[in-house]
Amino acid sequence: MLNPFILVSRLPILLRLGPSDQHTFDVIRNIMVTGTPEQCLEKMEDKATYYGVEEVMVVAVTHSFEKRRQSYEKLGLVANGRNFLEEA
């Protein structure tokens, strides 16, 4: 799965960020859930349990509608109707 969050091509720009911008980037990056569909589902389950919520919202950050649809579809296939709160 092509991950829209891969930042390798932008690494030189990130190395030039000032301390304040770097902190903002780090905070935003740390709240994002990225990875394979399986990894994302596991991370979302962990966050939902931590915050004590029963629902989560997913937003795939990509310009391409097709890639966004594929991301949702892959995550849905992994979840396959699981109620992760009952499994925890």
Residue 51, phi then psi, degrees to nearest 5: -90, -5
Task: Quick: pLDDT tens for 24-80.
Answer: 888 888 888 989 999 999 999 999 999 999 998 999 988 899 999 999 989 988 888
Q: Is residue 28 part of a domain?
A: yes
**Cα R_g (the chain), whole angstroms:** 15
Q: Please indicate, yes or no, if residue 34 is contained in any of the structural domains.
A: yes
Question: Which residue range(s) make up the domain with 68?
Answer: 8-87
Instruction: Count structural domains, the chain.
Output: 1
Whole-prediction pTM: 0.63
